[in-house]
């Protein structure tokens, strides 16, 4: 079945009812998408499906025919949100971080603190208490922080 | 030997004749195809002969540990009192709920077994596997993989599943992967001990405490696991950070037919300090006294002695954190002004000992190594990174001591074949205790180097690895038989002020703001240290209001994220953190522990804010059902 994965057209054979989460991890080898609960509550498996943040544990593979899927690997490590999470302490153990960053990437431009809170309400972080995550999302939106110097 | 070795050898790896709780492992099945594995499960029938289970700790036939702390003469203390205030407080289970469930991979290797896993304490697993499989030390290797959260939940439980995976791997001669799904993780793994805590306190009219008598009962679950040490930390912190000449604390942790409870951030102290701080609020109410003044009157000062007789040093900041939090939050004004409205404000004052309790650190005799590299140094410790910043913080301590850039310090992977046993990653000890050993290693390397560069030194002398063992501050004394002496090298100090709103229709309590001031000696990395405080505070808010484990016939009935509710963004209030730095002489750069203390304060502060609403709550979580019930009975005077 054909779909766009991280900007590239892919043809992947997998059972139609297989969870998108498992297709990504097992058939595509992209393990940046995490499983936290398998019931759509924790958001660790969040990916962007045609620009919308969805829980990939609840999406059957059949449903993504012709769609565009973005996983954390699609941000290639140099997205402003990734830098901001690093600098502001938005990630601690890191297991929720891929999903959290993709959910944050789907927020409207110039989102207020209240909108950020509402927009990330489907992503559970057990480490940070969310405060540093808000700081990271806001600083990425404001064009901060500066990129880290490479060695 | 069929056991999961920890404090005792009482817990079998696989049940033989008796099962003590419904989630107890009995047999193992493995298959490379998950679907076929599930089919095979249907082919297994087990016949049970039931006996009468015990779910109520008050009726337990078996006590795992009993501790008595005595200071002064309790009868004299009560004789000196003008008022006696009594109360009973209850706290339920709490699930750690790391987002990555417990999981391991075992490989038959090198005539033994290698286990990769999401875990906190590689040498706990190493020892458990050696005892279970009867293998010599060098035939067992444990490697920590990147770990998606722990909070104590990956302290002792990984030994269990590592044992299961290792047995299967050795039996089949193939790698075996065992990862719990969320339901399995929630029903089977350890949780925070539920506790019933009774206080009886003698107090003078002016607020001075004359006698503190406390009874602590914890539910240990079916096997001992770490319960004796959880109880120990619980009873030592049970008085809260208050001075009193006459103290008696009696604690018990008992067996019930429920899955074993174990380590969870705070380790007994959140339960007992919840009780202590709600009780303090009730004493203030009984005396008609300002709750801040009551706490100021009794809070520990440098030179005071704790319940175990430990004399507090100049790093005691109880009064300082209290005054600072009260001022920053505008507590007094809001406390008066909000009476009779749907808004409430409450506070809690708390402390937390860093490192293992009593003689624990001496017994552990942790070792850390530092290896000189051409660019700088490589850290070799078994202390794990589980999101709290171990690697960053250790590298900072080493870089600053060596006087080299942070980038020039590497951290070796946590692998028992390569790193010494620096002890478990628990008890807020990774910075203060292990960091200090690394500082000493770095100082020795610096002396050896003198003005030579690492490259020249290595060219001339070959390799250089410095290994140091824990050495406590001089004069630290502890007697485990009498429970007298220095319970911890140092205590951290904290004060939380929580503001809440009550929904008058649904009876939900919404926290709106937390102001917290915590003295942790020195923040090695302020962003990471604040992250510990913010995250621990959020978990404490969950403990106070949302997180309820419903047991039905000894089995968790809500083992899903759908109905075991942890704080989301919408449940977590703004958290305003202030770190005070009153350095501890024997910590690296003055640092004490920070990981656990933040979870001690929120529950009592939330409940005291609910009291400010006129609602008498003595049990957590304070769910809407409990708020409704307490609202319809008599309210706070």
Q: Is it the case that residue B110 has pLDDT exceeding 80?
A: yes
Task: Write out B25-90 in H/E/C secondary structure.
Answer: CCCCCCCCCHHHHHHHHHCCCCCCCCCCCCCCHHHCCCEEEEEEEEECCHHHHHHCCCEEEEEEEE
Give contacts of B98 with chain A, Cβ < 8 Å. 93, 95, 126
- pTM, 2 dp: 0.97
Q: Is it the case that residue A145 has pLDDT exceeding 80?
A: no
Give contacts of A15 with chain B, Cβ < 8 Å. none
Q: How confident is the model at residue A148 (pLDDT cuts 50, 70, 90)?
A: very low
Which two tokens mark B424? 């478990």
Which two tokens mark B115? 């286990």
Q: Where are the beta strands (DSSP E) in B182-246?
A: 195-203, 209-221
Phi, psi of B252 (to 5 degrees): -140, 145
The contacts found for B110-113 with CB under 8 angstroms, 24 or more apart, are B110/B139, B110/B141, B111/B139, B112/B136, B112/B138, B112/B139, B112/B140, B112/B141, B113/B139, B113/B140, B113/B141, B113/B166, B113/B169, B113/B170
CA–CA separation, B1 vs B129, rounded Å?
A: 10
CA–CA separation, B244 vs B239, rounded Å?
A: 9
Question: Cα B489 from chain centroid?
Answer: 17
Q: How confident is the model at residue A144 (pLDDT cuts 50, 70, 90)?
A: low
Mean pLDDT confidence for B263-273:
98
Q: Is it the case that residue B296 has pLDDT exceeding 50?
A: yes
Q: Where are the beta strands (DSSP E) in B535-620?
A: 551-552, 555-556, 574-580, 619-620
Q: Is it the case that residue B548 has pLDDT exceeding 50?
A: yes
Whether B27 has its CB under 8 Å from any CB of chain A: the answer is no
What pLDDT shows up at residue A98?
98
B561 with A41: Cβ contact below 8 A: yes
Question: Cα A88 from chain centroid?
Answer: 18
Among chain B residues, the shortest Cα distance to A96 is held by: B99
Mean pLDDT confidence for B522-539:
98
Give contacts of A150 with chain B, Cβ < 8 Å. none
Looking only at the bridges linking them, the beta strands covering B83-91 and B195-203 are antiparallel
Alpha carbon distance, N-terminus to C-terminus of chain B:
59
Q: Is it the case that residue B187 has pLDDT exceeding 50?
A: yes
Q: Is it the case that residue B248 has pLDDT exceeding 90?
A: yes
Asked if residues A14 and A27 have their Cβ atoms less than 8 Å apart, the reply is yes
> How far, in Å, are B81, B202, B280, B405 from residue B85 at the CA level?
10, 7, 9, 57
ipTM exceeds 0.85: yes
B493 - beta bridge partners? B351, B519
For B493-506, how does the pLDDT look when each residue is reduced to its tens digit (9 = 90+)? Answer: 999 999 999 999 99
For B552-575, how does the pLDDT look when each residue is reduced to its tens digit (9 = 90+)? Answer: 999 999 999 999 999 999 999 999
Q: Which of A25, A26, A93, A121 to mutate to test the interface with B (most CBs of B within 10 A)?
A: A93
CA–CA separation, B304 vs B313, rounded Å?
A: 8
Which residues of A fall below an 8 Å CB-CB distance to B? 34, 36-39, 41-42, 44, 88-89, 92-96, 116-118, 120-132, 151
Mean pLDDT confidence for B444-463:
96
Exposed (0-12), middle (13-18) or buried (19+): which is A108, by Cβ within 10 Å? exposed
């Amino acid at each position: 079945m054909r779909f766009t994965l991280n900007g590239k057209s892919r043809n992947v054979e997998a059972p139609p009812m297989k969870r998108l989460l498992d297709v990504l991890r097992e058939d595509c080898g992209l393990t940046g998408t995490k499983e936290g609960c398998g019931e759509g509550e924790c958001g660790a498996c969040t990916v962007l499906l045609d620009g919308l943040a969805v829980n990939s544990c609840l999406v059957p593979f059949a449903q993504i025919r012709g769609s565009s899927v973005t996983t954390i690997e699609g941000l290639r490590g140099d997205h402003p949100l990734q830098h901001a999470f690093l600098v502001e302490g938005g990630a601690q153990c890191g297991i929720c971080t891929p999903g959290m960053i993709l959910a944050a990437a789907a927020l409207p431009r110039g989102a207020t603190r209240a909108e950020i809170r509402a927009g990330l309400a489907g992503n559970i972080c057990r480490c940070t208490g969310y405060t540093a995550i808000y700081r990271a999302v806001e600083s990425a939106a404001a064009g901060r922080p500066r990129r880290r110097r490479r060695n | 030997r069929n056991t999961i070795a920890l404090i005792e050898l009482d817990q079998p790896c696989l049940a033989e004749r008796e099962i003590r709780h419904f989630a107890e492992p009995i047999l193992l099945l493995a298959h490379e195809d998950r679907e076929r594995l599930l089919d095979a499960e249907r082919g297994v029938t087990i016949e049970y002969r039931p006996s009468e289970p015990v779910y109520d700790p008050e009726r337990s036939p078996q006590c795992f540990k009993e501790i008595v702390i005595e200071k002064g003469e309790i009868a004299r203390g009560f004789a000196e009192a003008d008022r006696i205030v009594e109360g009973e407080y209850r706290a339920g289970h709490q699930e750690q709920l790391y987002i990555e469930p417990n999981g391991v991979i075992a490989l038959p290797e090198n005539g033994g077994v290698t286990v990769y896993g999401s875990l906190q304490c590689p040498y706990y697993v190493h020892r458990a596997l050696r005892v279970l499989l009867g293998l010599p030390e060098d035939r067992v290797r444990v490697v920590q993989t990147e770990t998606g959260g722990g909070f104590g939940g990956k302290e002792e439980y990984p030994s269990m599943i590592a044992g299961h995976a290792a047995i299967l791997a050795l039996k089949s001669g193939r790698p075996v992967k065992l990862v719990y799904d969320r339901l399995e993780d929630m029903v089977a793994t350890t949780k925070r001990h539920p506790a019933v805590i009774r206080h009886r306190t003698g107090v003078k009219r002016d607020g001075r405490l004359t006698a503190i008598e406390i009874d602590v009962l914890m539910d240990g679950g079916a096997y001992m696991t770490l319960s004796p040490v959880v109880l120990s930390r619980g009873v030592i912190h049970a008085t809260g950070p208050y001075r009193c000449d006459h103290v008696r604390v009696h604690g018990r942790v008992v067996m019930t037919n429920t899955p074993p409870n174990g380590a969870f951030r705070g380790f007994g102290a959140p339960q007992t300090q919840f009780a202590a701080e709600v009780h303090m609020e009730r004493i203030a109410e009984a005396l008609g006294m300002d709750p801040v003044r009551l706490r100021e009157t009794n809070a520990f000062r440098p030179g005071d002695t704790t319940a175990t007789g430990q004399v507090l040093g100049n790093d005691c900041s109880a009064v300082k954190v209290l005054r600072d939090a009260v001022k920053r939050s505008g507590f007094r004004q809001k406390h008066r002004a909000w009476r009779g409205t749907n808004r409430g404000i409450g506070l809690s004052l708390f402390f937390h000992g860093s490192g293992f309790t009593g003689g624990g650190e001496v017994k552990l005799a942790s070792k850390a190594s530092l290896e000189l590299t051409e660019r700088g140094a490589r850290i070799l410790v078994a202390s794990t990174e589980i999101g709290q910043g171990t690697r960053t913080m250790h590298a900072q301590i080493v870089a600053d001591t060596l006087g080299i850039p942070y980038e020039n310090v590497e951290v070796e992977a946590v692998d028992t074949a390569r790193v010494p046993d620096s002890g478990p990653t628990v008890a807020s000890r990774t910075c203060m205790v292990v960091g200090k050993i690394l500082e000493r290693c770095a100082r020795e390397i610096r002396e050896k180097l003198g003005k030579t560069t690492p490259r020249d030194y290595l060219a001339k002398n070959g390799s250089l690895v410095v290994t140091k063992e824990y050495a406590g501050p001089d004069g630290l004394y502890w007697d485990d038989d009498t429970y007298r002496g220095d319970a911890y090298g140092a205590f951290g100090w904290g004060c939380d002020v929580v503001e809440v709103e009550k929904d008058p229709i649904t009876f939900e309590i919404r926290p709106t703001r937390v102001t917290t001031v915590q003295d942790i000696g020195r923040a090695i990395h302020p962003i990471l240290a604040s992250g510990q405080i913010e995250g621990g505070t959020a978990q404490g808010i969950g403990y106070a209001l949302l997180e309820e484990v419903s047991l039905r016939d000894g089995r968790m009935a809500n083992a899903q994220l759908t109905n075991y509710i942890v704080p989301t963004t919408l449940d977590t209030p703004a958290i305003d953190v202030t770190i005070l730095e009153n350095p501890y002489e024997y910590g690296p750069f003055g640092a004490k522990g920070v990981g656990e203390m933040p979870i001690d304060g929120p529950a009592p502060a939330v409940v005291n804010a609910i009291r400010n609403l006129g609602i008498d709550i003595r049990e957590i979580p304070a769910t809407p059902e409990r708020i409704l019930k307490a609202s319809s009975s008599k309210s706070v005077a």
